Amino acid sequence: MFDALIEKLQNDTYITLETTPGHSPQFSPIVEKIAQLELDKFVDAFTTTDNPLAKLKYNALFAAKILQDKFNKPVIATMSMRDRNKIALQSDLLGANEVDIRAILALTGDPATISDQPHTKGVFEADSSMLLDMISAFNSGMDYAGKPFSSKPKEIVPFAVVNSFAKNPKTLQKKMQKKIKHGALGIITQPIYDLENAKQLLELMDNANKECCSESKSAHLILGLFPITKLRTAQFLSTHVPGINVPDIWLEKLRVASAKGEEEEYKVGFELSKNLFESLKDYYPKIHLMTANKFDLAKQILQGKKN
């Protein structure tokens, strides 16, 4: 299963869909919705998020296990440095390994100060590079302290993330190089909204691979896409989320559409998002789709062009 995922990432089309476990003791409604829409037929893998924005959610590793068992497709489980020290991180990796949750997205995590849980403190023993190093150690048969395991863990596939925009592009390249050096095989970008932005990121990734590593250790870029169907979403991402650039043409078209009503606003936003998805697929078909669990929207985006 995971060998096939790596093969697709390296040599084929590669589409993943993000799922966000809810503030609930049940993950099954999300699984049922995905099954109802047959979304598993449109993607190569799923991802599960790990308490994004420091808000309490259902556990990402358990959610990954349920998804993987249901659809027999690999699931990339997110693990955040915010909530665990190095003992807990490795313990979770060991438990996940036996039940075949072996694709891990390493994140530093959003600050605990924005949590919905009172007086929450972040752990943050290090950034996500430490988790990538732990995975490298596990793949060598030992823990982070260098102590060999009684039996070697099954191979873990490490993923990382990077911003999609910076005023100085070289800063993005340096971040890519760091994640590659620490073992990431796939690097997922924050959402992009412009094909030229994608081309620039791919050039930076190519440079990062050449600068830091041998061909055998190179990583592949995965372009993030978060469809925008409301003007206020575009404005929020443009103004308040570092590392994302929403082009002025998107903002202007959504502004004009919004003045005509919600239906026109949605239509214009969807068309912009769908056209971008198709353009990215034609140019570089390695995409991570994020829809905040709006799975009907995900299916509309993932379905091919109508004749």
pLDDT digits (tens, 9 = 90+) for 47-102: 999 999 999 999 999 999 999 999 999 999 999 999 999 999 999 999 999 999 99
User: How many Cβ atoms sit within 10 Å of the Cβ of residue 204?
Assistant: 22
Domains of the chain: 2-229+286-302 (3.20.20.220)
Closest CA to 69 of 1, 165, 138: 1
Closest CA to 186 of 209, 211, 152, 214: 209
What does the pLDDT look like over 228-261, one tens digit per residue? 999 999 999 999 888 999 999 999 999 999 999 9
What does the pLDDT look like over 184-213, one tens digit per residue? 999 999 999 999 999 999 999 999 999 887
Quick check: 152 and 102 in contact, CB under 8 A?
Answer: no
Distance CA 32, CA 29 (A): 5
pTM above 0.75, yes or no: yes
DSSP lists the bridge partners of residue 212 as: none
